[in-house]
Chains A and B, each alone.
Chain A
């Protein structure tokens, strides 16, 4: 403890006493006045001439900064950087950003209010203030009210201050000395402590980052990757042939597949043409005939193909008596299963289309073999 006085501090029993003493001591101008109370006493700050707190303005500004940053960030992230349409709304739609904007505004404002008040305005935490080691502080936090005359730079007139306080009704009056050396709660120690905390936070953060990167590949998290199911082209001990992939069961057919009915051409001869001979069917038949049949059998069905003579094969003349006497079912069967050099056209024409082509062929035959009465 040094012998330089930091302040002269007087304790009062009631808030009225404190409030009455302040103007008297202010008038004497012995030093900077500070009051210490267990709770805020109305009128003290006005009596001491303390300025209004600027905290409200700071909080407003930081709140607006928070709101603006939250809005701009969301706008940029979901609207510009990686636009995604959610719920059919434009990626730039502002309505959905409002809740987060509000919350972040409150967050920024809160931290400004709390930390701004503590760190900036009150310069707390500060463990080295001389009053903290005075005798009066225990009473101040309990139920007494203190008025301190603090040294304003030069030496404090301790005797005058003590007299003034006693005359104003303070009892007991105490001289608070300046602390001599750096105690365990001095600013330096505090700073070192804060740096240690910051360093450990950094270390913890890096460790967490590494841990989070590692954690998904540790058990039991990896258990989900190890699933008791069959993968394509993998071996399997379950089946005799060791393959996990199996062939379809015998008799499996493709969807939409129907087996072809007649077992032979003779059976096919008995099939009636299920389609009516109307304009639509004939149009369909003409179109398909033109696509698939006319190349070999010719546009008129007379076996004069549109292919060059170099083709070699000789397609059947559909106008011949043989073909004209075929039942519809035989022509259908020929288209389906092929005959001689003609391959099956079942891949090209559905059953309906084949029957339509049969109708068209009949029309071609009739057209080339018209009778006189057809012209009347």
Chain B
């Protein structure tokens, strides 16, 4: 009962920049110099807040991509098999995130108020210092999280890469069996990422939907990264057999989860606004002054309004150029989302100047470089997967 639009077929080549690896490296180095300058020149809080921002960004994008791959195994989807390698490669970002997270563990006292002695006298905070918010337990949780992320990547990407060589369908079975375990691991670690790393900046605040909110942003980020990677490879002819129909599904997921993210974000806001409890609503009160409302408005515009209306028409969801632009926009908006979660808790007014720009240059370029390097992971499509052919034959 579905329509076929006229002219669906192979994707026409899309103009993208070629061979810019050297340029990216130069940009990364320039940004790196700025980062170094920030380490010595900017206040410690500013520096580590930026590190936290990029740690969360890499972690959420990588985890979201891994979630996409695991979801495919969980439900036994076949249309997405040709695209799964792109997601697995994007999942390698969790390793980069761990590299950023480890130094953060040594600078917890800079960012987190609960590490300081005044926390012993703060209501709503003092009671949980012994049982939860203390450096040893936090570190243990963080290390366990990092280990689990590494395990998840090793299994999801590792088994899939092995299948490239052996074409053993039993590996698909093992991946399918691992998928529920991944889901449990993902739920726990994303919630910990949210509560510990992001929520810990305001230890008196609590919201049990926060884990779901970070999940929604993470999944969207993973989808966007996969969509970007897919369109890029497709435009270079490296995904033979992948059609607009596959892109349409990716675009549809992106569209649907945009709505989901907005719903979760608005639900949290509406409930806290409505009840107006001082012990909760200060979180939003902080974001309602000092220039932060502009950031919130920009977030609503970039993370919801623009991509929603861009992806709403049916034939646009499968259009590679539009999908690329929408996915890139969502990724940038996700960064803005994390920025809005971290910085207002640390500063009464909006901070954006050379440290943030330096970090963006450095880590943005590093991201692009890493993703290019990741293309050496296995074939561009999971060639050993028994359902690859069926996946390529998928038509709406």
Contacts and interface: CB of A to CB of B under 8 A. Distances in A.
Q: Determine direct contact between A and B, CB below 8 Å.
A: yes
Interface of A: 39-40, 42-43, 45-46, 52, 56, 60, 87-89, 95-96, 98
Interface residues of B, number: 15
Given A46-B6, A56-B313, A56-B314, A96 B1 contact: no
B297 interface: no
A46 B4 CA distance: 8
A160 B276 CA distance: 78
Contacts of B147: none
A43 B4 contact: yes
Nearest to A39: B1
Contact of B266 (A39, A40, A98): A98
Contacts of B314: 56
Interface in B215-274: 266, 269-270, 273-274
B313 A96 contact: no
10 A-B pairs with the lowest CB-CB distances in the bound complex, closest first: A95-B273, A42-B4, A46-B6, A95-B270, A40-B1, A88-B276, A43-B4, A87-B274, A46-B4, A56-B314
A40 to B, nearest CB: 6
A60 B270 contact: no
Given A56-B314, A60-B312, A98-B266, A87 B276 contact: yes
Of B269, B274, B313, chain A has the most CB atoms within 10 Å of the CB of B274
Contacts of A52: 5
Contacts of B269: 95
A179 to B, nearest CB: 32
A39 to B, nearest CB: 7
A45 B6 CA distance: 10
A46 to B, nearest CB: 6
A45 B4 CA distance: 9
A78 to B, nearest CB: 15
Contacts of A46: 4, 6
A39 B314 CA distance: 22
B274 A95 contact: yes
15 contacts: A39-B1, A40-B1, A42-B4, A45-B3, A56-B313, A56-B314, A60-B312, A87-B274, A89-B274, A95-B270, A95-B273, A95-B274, A96-B274, A98-B266, A98-B270
Contacts of B1: 39-40
Interface string B266-297: 10011001101000000000000000000000
Contacts of B274: 87, 89, 95-96
Nearest to B309: A60
